[in-house]
């Protein structure tokens, strides 16, 4: 990452400082903010970095479309390696471009509390028009439990009220089960 940023701004020391910042924090900053502490970029460096981040965000939104099952699975496939049950939310724009991906809740080896209020609050903050939720089963068995089905129904109810669609729910184990493909959504 440091090498890429160095190539964009032309300063390795400043690139190291930037690489310590989260992508989500950097992508919302203006050129003027990038010129201030702790980054202290010149105007030209700030404009280059801002342009590169804007382009990357645009490509990301265009590339991950929520109606492509293979791309959706790719966004959650890393969860198979998680030791504890984790719930991830994917947030989509009105044109179904990916806006944000976030691991929202971490539980134990057998259970994870999933609070739809927190997920939909985040969706509103981001300006999402649709969400996909996913969680893993560390046991490897991807069969949805009765609790999985119940929480999915709750997400659908709340999403309907807020007009933020639940597009799918994935359970990640030895394989990835899609509630949409299984007819559960």
Whether residue 52 sits in one domain with residue 106: no
Q: Tell me what pLDDT residue 36 has.
A: 79
> 69 and 75 in contact (C-beta within 8 Å)?
no
CA distances to 6, 114, 171, 183 from 148, rounded to whole Å, are 45, 10, 9, 14
Q: Tell me what pLDDT residue 133 has.
A: 95
Structural domain of residue 128, as residue ranges?
69-178
Q: How many structural domains compose the chain?
A: 2
Last residue of a domain, one of 46, 63, 80: 63
Exposure pattern of 12-29 as b/e (b: 16+ CB <10 Å)? Answer: eebbebbeeeeeeebeeb
Whether residue 79 sits in one domain with residue 22: no
Q: Give per-residue pLDDT as tens, 127-166.
A: 999 999 999 999 989 999 999 999 999 999 999 999 999 9
Record the tokens describing residue 123, joined without a space: 């969706």
Rounded to the nearest integer, the mean pLDDT of the chain is 84
Q: Tell me what pLDDT residue 75 has.
A: 81
Whether residue 134 sits in one domain with residue 105: yes
Q: Is 57 inside a domain boundary? A: yes
Q: Is 158 inside a domain boundary? A: yes
Whether residue 135 sits in one domain with residue 50: no
**CA 135/CA 112 separation, integer angstroms:** 9
The CATH number of residue 82's host domain is 3.40.140.10
Last residue of a domain, one of 18, 42, 63: 63
CA distances to 5, 83, 110, 127 from 113, rounded to whole Å, are 38, 16, 11, 24
Whether residue 115 sits in one domain with residue 40: no
Q: What percent of the chain has pLDDT over 70?
A: 89
Average pLDDT rounded to a whole number, residues 6-19: 84
Whether residue 59 sits in one domain with residue 75: no
Whether residue 59 sits in one domain with residue 73: no
* DSSP code for 182: T
With H, G, I as helix, E, B as strand and everything else as coil, classify residue 169. strand
Whether residue 103 sits in one domain with residue 167: yes
pLDDT above 90 for 52: no
Exposure pattern of 76-96 as b/e (b: 16+ CB <10 Å)? Answer: beebbebeebbbbbbbbbeeb
Helix/strand/coil percent split, the chain, to 5: 45, 20, 35
């Amino acid at each position: 990452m440091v090498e890429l940023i160095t190539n964009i701004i032309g300063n390795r020391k400043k690139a190291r400082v930037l690489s310590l910042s989260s992508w989500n924090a950097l992508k919302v900053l203006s050129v003027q903010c990038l010129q201030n502490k702790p980054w202290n970029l010149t105007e030209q460096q700030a404009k280059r970095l801002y342009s590169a981040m804007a382009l990357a965000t645009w490509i990301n939104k265009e590339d991950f479309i929520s109606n492509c099952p293979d791309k959706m699975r790719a966004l959650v496939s890393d969860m198979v390696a998680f030791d504890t049950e984790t719930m991830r939310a994917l947030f989509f724009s009105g044109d179904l471009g990916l806006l944000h991906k976030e691991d929202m809740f971490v539980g134990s080896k057998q259970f994870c509390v999933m609070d739809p209020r927190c997920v939909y609050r985040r969706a509103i903050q981001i300006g999402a028009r649709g969400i996909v939720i996913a969680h893993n089963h560390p046991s490897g068995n991807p069969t949805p439990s009765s609790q999985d089905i119940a929480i999915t129904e709750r997400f659908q109810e709340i999403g309907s009220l807020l007009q933020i669609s639940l597009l799918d729910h994935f359970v990640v184990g030895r394989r990835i089960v899609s509630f949409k493909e299984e007819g559960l959504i």
